[in-house]
Amino acid sequence: MHIMNWINNGMATFKGFSTVNTVRPPYTLIDGDLVKRDLLNEFYTRIGERVMRPNFGSIIWDLLMDPNTPDIVARVREDVEKIIGRDPRANLLDTRIFLQDQSLRVEIDIIFVQTGDPETLYLEYQRKITEGIDA
């Protein structure tokens, strides 16, 4: 969740909160940290998982069960472009996709629109196997 707040110099500052990786308050995130957390939240949410937001999330979780083919790489790249493209606070620079037997790793280079600062998002998706049953 984020709120755009205007400061005296006219530049937007983004403020929000997240309880991810925090044990106690403050839960406040600002600017690039908030943008990064919002993007990671969407990438790590399976598409259709959010109530009342059927288009929120990533298809990557569903692709882990598919064979490693060039089609998978194209679909992951398209999903990354869609998710980054929906957030006006960041622009996509580059995407690198690494397929392995039980996992998929994505490295996404973005630039924050407000500051011009570059950032790399590292995403790791692993298929869980529990007692011989794919999960």
74 occurs within a structural domain: yes
Contact partners, residue 2, CB within 8 Å, separation at least 6: 14, 15, 16, 34, 38
- Rounded to an integer, what distance in angstroms lies between the CA atom of residue 100 and that of residue 117? 31
Amino acid at 126: Q
Is 13 contained in some domain? no
* CATH code for the domain of 99: 3.10.450.40
Mean pLDDT of the chain: 79
Residue 126, domain member (yes or no): yes
Convert the pLDDT of each residue in 63-96 to its tens digit: 887 777 789 999 999 999 999 999 999 999 999 9
- β-bridge pairing 129-130 and 133-134: antiparallel
For residue 81, being part of any structural domain is answered with: yes
- With respect to residue 9, please indicate whether it lies within any of the assigned structural domains: no
Whole-prediction pTM: 0.77
Q: Over the stretch 98-126, which tens digit does the pLDDT of each residue have?
A: 988 778 999 999 999 888 999 999 999 98
- Per DSSP (E only), the strands in the chain are 2-6, 12-17, 28-30, 90-99, 103-112, 118-126, 129-130, 133-134
For 66, the domain range is 31-134
| pLDDT given at position 85 | 97
Q: Which residue has the higher pLDDT, 12 or 63?
A: 63
Structure tokens at 92: 């996509």
